[in-house]
Every structure is written in structure tokens, then in C-alpha cells.
């Protein structure tokens, strides 16, 4: 049966280790509020930022292959910088549908900085990627790019979306990890190069203690998804999205109100 005959519109699939991809989904919902959504979280694999390149290059395409087989999405968004900077090419060659990645927003940051000093906060794995070196060489060669790994912010964002108080010490340490580097006093722009981190934007702004602009790729990714699905007719009604986890489904309970804010109300185990 064709898509038109059965009246179904294939979903957009978002993929992250946990709640980080919601920062990308949120911007996409602004542009495409009626797009059906599957949100997949590899909680069994969190944190990706502490895994090896080889492990992620094998794990991410295999999982996405299973997810695509189950949900038959029209497009996959890897809403995770760590997975994208390591496994984007592997995923693209394994799937025959469009795959959108999330990579550090070095180009826009480079255009916005006035002082020429840019910070990049990411996971341990992301900040060491050759992909990041290439973006820096192509778009920020005349800028100072200070990198800092802040894996603890992943847990702080997870806590916040469970309705808990995020760890203020971890948030302060992430900012001082940038500012205290040589040249850090001139820092005016910070790239949030992990999709969990925009969920802590307000807390990071307070911890910065001075005007700093925070940049992430979510708006650009949403525009890219809208462009790639431009010919699509969406359902008339807004459908509730589905969340699927590789982890223990019972652990999802405290996150339900947060997911509801992003239109997700069905929960499944992969």
C-alpha cells in the first residue's frame, strides 16, 4: 500500500542518548508543528561522550538501522554532537533515507564574535574529533577557539528535565573551564556543542557572570529538516509523539512532564 493510500505520513526520527535531542526537536516543532515524531534515546549507551570512536561508529548505525526498520521514518536527525561528529558518514552509508547531523556551530559563532575568542563546550569525545578540527580550520582559522569538555553538564541537563535542581557546581566549573584558559578573559561567544547543553542555557548565562552569547545548531538543523521535507503534506491534526528508549522504561517516569512539553506522550522500549 502506498503512503497516500493508507493515509499515513512517515515520522521524523530524532536520536540522542537522552533528553539532549529535545533541544533540536523543540526548534523543529516550531517550524513543523504537525510533523509526526519519534524520539529515540539510547539511555543504555549514555554517556556517548565517554565512549571510543570505534564503539560509537559501530553502535550508532546498528541502532539506527533497527529504529528505521521499526518506525519507517522519512528522515533521521542525529540530535547528538558526539554521535554526529563520529558516526554521521557510517549512518549515511547504512541508511537509504536522508540523515541530518548535529555538528558544533563553529561557523555562526565565528561570524558573531566581536573579540575573536570563542569557547566550545562539548563532551570529551566531541572536542577531540578531527571533524571539529576541520570546522575550526575552515571557519575560525583567524579566531581563538578554546575547547573544554564538560561531561557533567549531560547529567545536570538530565536532572533538570526530571524536575530536579541541576548541579550548580558543575555548571560553574564548565564556564570557568573556558574563561580560565589563556585568552579566556576576552571570550564573548560560547558554542554549546552537545545537545544537552542548550537545556541549561539560562544557568550557564548566570554562571558566566558577564555578557556572553551562547550558540547552538538547533535552529539551523530545524531549517534543514523543513527544507528536506518541503514537499511533504503533514497531517491536519497535531499527533502525539512517541518516545523509545534502549534503557529501562521505568526510569522514564520522572521525565514525563518534560516530554509532554515537547508533544511526546507515548513511551516504548526498543
Q: Which residues are identified as catalytic?
A: 80, 194
* Residue among 106, 171, 175, 194 that touches ligand DGL (CB under 6 A): 194
* Residue among 76, 80, 88, 207 that touches ligand DGL (CB under 6 A): 80
Neighbours of 5 (CB within 10 A): 7
Q: How many residues does the chain have?
A: 270
Alpha-carbon radius of gyration of the chain: 18
Give me the least distance between CB of 256 and ligand DGL, in Å please: 20
For position 20 contacting ligand DGL by CB under 6 A, the verdict is: yes
**From CA 15, how far away is CA 48, in angstroms rounded?**
12
Nearer to ligand DGL, 113 or 123 (CB): 123
Give me the least distance between CB of 32 and ligand DGL, in Å please: 21
For position 195 contacting ligand DGL by CB under 6 A, the verdict is: yes
Task: Check: CB of residue 121 under 8 Å from CB of residue 192.
Answer: yes
Which cell numbers hold the place of 223? 531549517
Q: Taking CB under 6 A as the criterion, which residues in 44-63 touch ligand DGL?
A: 46-49
**From CA 62, how far away is CA 111, in angstroms rounded?**
37
Q: Taking CB under 6 A as the criterion, which residues in 107-166 touch ligand DGL?
A: 123, 126, 154
Give me the least distance between CB of 182 and ligand DGL, in Å please: 26
Backbone angles phi, psi at 112, to 5 degrees: -90, -30
Give me the least distance between CB of 214 and ligand DGL, in Å please: 15
**From CA 165, how far away is CA 160, in angstroms rounded?**
6
- Which residues are 249's β-sheet partners? none
Interface with ligand DGL (CB under 6 A): 16-17, 20, 46-49, 80-82, 123, 126, 154, 194-196
Amino acid at each position: 500500500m502506498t503512503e497516500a493510500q493508507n493515509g499515513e505520513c512517515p515520522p521524523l526520527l530524532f536520536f540522542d542518548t537522552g533528553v539532549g535531542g529535545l533541544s533540536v526537536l523543540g526548534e523543529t516543532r516550531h517550524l513543523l508543528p504537525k510533523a509526526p515524531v519519534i524520539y529515540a534515546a539510547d539511555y543504555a549507551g549514555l554517556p556517548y561522550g565517554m565512549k571510543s570512536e570505534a564503539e560509537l561508529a559501530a553502535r550508532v548505525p546498528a541502532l539506527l538501522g533497527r529504529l528505521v526498520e521499526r518506525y519507517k521514518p522519512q528522515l533521521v536527525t542525529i540530535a547528538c554532537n558526539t554521535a554526529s561528529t563520529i558516526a554521521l558518514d557510517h549512518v549515511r552509508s547504512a541508511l537509504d533515507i536522508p540523515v541530518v547531523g548535529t555538528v558544533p556551530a563553529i561557523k555562526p559563532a565565528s561570524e558573531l564574535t566581536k573579540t575573536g575568542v570563542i569557547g566550545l563546550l562539548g563532551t570529551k569525545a566531541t572536542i577531540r574529533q578531527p571533524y571539529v578540527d576541520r570546522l575550526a580550520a575552515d571557519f575560525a582559522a583567524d579566531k581563538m577557539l578554546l575547547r573544554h569538555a564538560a561531561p557533567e553538564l549531560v547529567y545536570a541537563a538530565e536532572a533538570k528535565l526530571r524536575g530536579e535542581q541541576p548541579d550548580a557546581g558543575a555548571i560553574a566549573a564548565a564556564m570557568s573551564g573556558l574563561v580560565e584558559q589563556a585568552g579566556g578573559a576576552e571570550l564573548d561567544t560560547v558554542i554549546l556543542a552537545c545537545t544537552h547543553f542548550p537545556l541549561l542555557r539560562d544557568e550557564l548565562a548566570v554562571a558566566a557572570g558577564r555578557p556572553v552569547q551562547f550558540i547552538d545548531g538547533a535552529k539551523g538543523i530545524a531549517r534543514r529538516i523543513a527544507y528536506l521535507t518541503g514537499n511533504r503534506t503533514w497531517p491536519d491534526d497535531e499527533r502525539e509523539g512517541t518516545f523509545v528508549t534502549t534503557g529501562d522504561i521505568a526510569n522514564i517516569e520522572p521525565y514525563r512532564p518534560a516530554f509532554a512539553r515537547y508533544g511526546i506522550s507515548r513511551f516504548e522500549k526498543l
